[in-house]
Amino acid sequence: NAGVMQNPRHLVRRRGQEARLRCSPMKGHSHVYWYRQLPEEGLKFMVYLQKENIIDESGMPKERFSAEFPKEGPSILRIQQVVRGDSAAYFCASSPRTVVSSYNEQFFGPGTRLTVL
Amino acid sequence: AQSVTQPDIHITVSEGASLELRCNYSYGATPYLFWYVQSPGQGLQLLLKYFSGDTLVQGIKGFEAEFKRSQSSFNLRKPSVHWSDAAEYFCAVGGHNAGNNRKLIWGLGTSLAVNP
């Protein structure tokens, strides 16, 4: 059973370009989370999605950032008009369908390291 | 406010020595607590987790952690450190599935170096 897949592993963009980060959850998982890790910092929650729904986007910057998790295909984190401050490692995690009052482990992908020149 | 504090930014220990990494949390509901390890350039691997029950939990690679509600702490321990344990260690807290409690709140991490 393959783990969480993220691609590309490394992405270089110039200021003003768009960055598209992909995440394929583990088989059978229907919940996806995106986290950002800035240099010398811990991870910060960005967004939590289920298939075709954004459940919690409280950690997403208000502008330029968007995320989707379509019925078919991977989850996409899209950053428009990138700036140098967007340089970071972006991690995706997935978990299976859950029962209320329980908690399921989040399984992490290897991350995409975005560098903005 | 929900937060996780890892007071030690860097720790250096000798191989074979014991290890304790500190983690304190602030969380309004019943916390679910996690320790993850990140090797350089790699993703995050779960070491152990606490949901309920026995407050001393065992994890992979010989790690254990103890949940102390009165101290709001979840410190990670290992009796004898191996050189391969050198990595970044993150403590995280989350809630149960109701509402928006599924997201994990992270500490800033503790970087562990191991001397031969």
pLDDT of residue A115: 96
Mean pLDDT of A90-107: 77
Q: B44, B47, B48: which to substitute to probe chain A, counting the most A Cβ within 10 Å?
A: B44
Chain B residue with minimum CA distance to A57? B100
Amino acid of residue B56: L
CA gyration radius, chain A:
14
pLDDT of B47 reads 95
Given a contact cutoff of 8 angstroms between Cβ atoms, the answer to whether A15 and A116 are in contact is yes
Inform me whether the pLDDT recorded for A9 exceeds 90: yes
Is pLDDT of A91 > 70? yes
Instruction: Say how many C-beta atoms besides its own lie within 10 A of residue A111's C-beta.
Output: 26
pLDDT at B27: 83
Contacts of B106 in chain A (CB under 8 A): 35, 42-45
Q: What is the pLDDT of residue B97?
A: 53
Q: Which residues of B touch A58 (CB under 8 A)?
A: 100, 103
Distance (Å) from the C-alpha of residue A49 to the closest C-alpha of chain B?
Answer: 11
Amino acid identity, position A22: R
Q: Is A5 a residue whose pLDDT tops 80?
A: yes
pLDDT of residue A60: 94
What's the average model confidence in pLDDT over A13-34? 95
What is the least distance, in Å, from the CA of A17 to any CA of chain B? 24
pLDDT at A24 over 80: yes
Question: In order along chain B (116 residues), what is the average pLDDT of each group of 10 residues?
Answer: 91 96 88 90 88 90 94 96 96 70 85 94
> What does A51-117 look like in DSSP terms, one character per residue?
TTEEEE-TTS-SSSEEEE--SSS-EEEEE-S--GGG-EEEEEEEEE---TT---PPEE---EEEEE-
If pLDDT is split at 50, 70 and 90, which confidence band does A101 have?
Answer: low
pLDDT of residue B64: 97
* pLDDT, tens digit, 9 for 90 and up, residues A43-89: 899 999 998 899 889 999 999 999 999 999 999 999 999 999 999 99
Q: What local confidence, expressed as pLDDT, does residue B24 receive?
A: 96
- First vs last C-alpha separation in chain A: 36
CB contact (8 A) between residue A111 and residue B43: yes
Q: Angle B100-B103-B109 (CA atoms, 0-180°, nearest 5)?
A: 150
